[in-house]
Amino acid sequence: MERDIYRNDAGNGALDSQEDTFQEQIKQMHSLNRILAWLSGLAKFQSRLKIHIELTYTLLSQRHNRLNTSVAQDSRRIASATLSDSKAMKAIAVVTLVFLPAEPGCGIINLDPEHLRVSKFWWTHVTSAVVLTALVLLAWVVWMRRKRPSKAVPLHGVDLEKAA
């Protein structure tokens, strides 16, 4: 009501419209300030989201590294067990190679322990068994040397053949 009095009394409508324009500009500035504050909050949210994504990638990388380390340790244990199994198999092969050549001789000559004591040609069986065993062992050694890799590759600076 007082505005009307001033308007009527002063008869000045130009001041009133300027004040309305000024009030409108203040409202627009408040709106712009709210939009800027919202945009600022959005930028902060975006930077926090980027940090969160980087943290997630870092945690996943750490998890994968732990898994890879575990797999490497398991592989090392398997390699060590395989090496000891390989040594056991070689020992079994040597024992087999020592006793196997005598069997065909026994089969061919058809000897049993009773005839071995009585026969005067018992030395032929023993000689043929020793010669066959020596030939088989020699052939096995030659074959193993040809099949052996030129150089064993150590894992992390530790040679598995020396460690076992």
The count of domains in the chain is: 2
Question: Is a pLDDT exceeding 90 seen at residue 60?
Answer: yes
Which region among 47-56, 103-112, 148-157 has the lowest average model confidence (pLDDT)? 148-157
pLDDT class of 43 with cuts at 50, 70, 90: confident
The verdict on residue 151 lying in a domain is: yes
DSSP state of 25: H
Q: Which residue has the tokens 């079994």?
A: 92
Residue 116 neighbours by CB distance under 10 Å: 14
Tell me the range of 22-31, 35-44, 54-63 where mean pLDDT is highest.
Answer: 54-63
SS3 159: coil
- Same domain, yes or no: 65 and 124: no
CB contact at 8 A, 105 and 125: yes
- Same domain, yes or no: 12 and 59: yes
Distance CA 88, CA 138 (A): 20
Task: Give residue 17's pLDDT.
Answer: 80
pTM value is 0.41
The verdict on residue 30 lying in a domain is: yes
Q: In terms of residue numbers, what domain contains 43? A: 1-82
- Same domain, yes or no: 1 and 78: yes
- Same domain, yes or no: 29 and 72: yes
The verdict on residue 60 lying in a domain is: yes
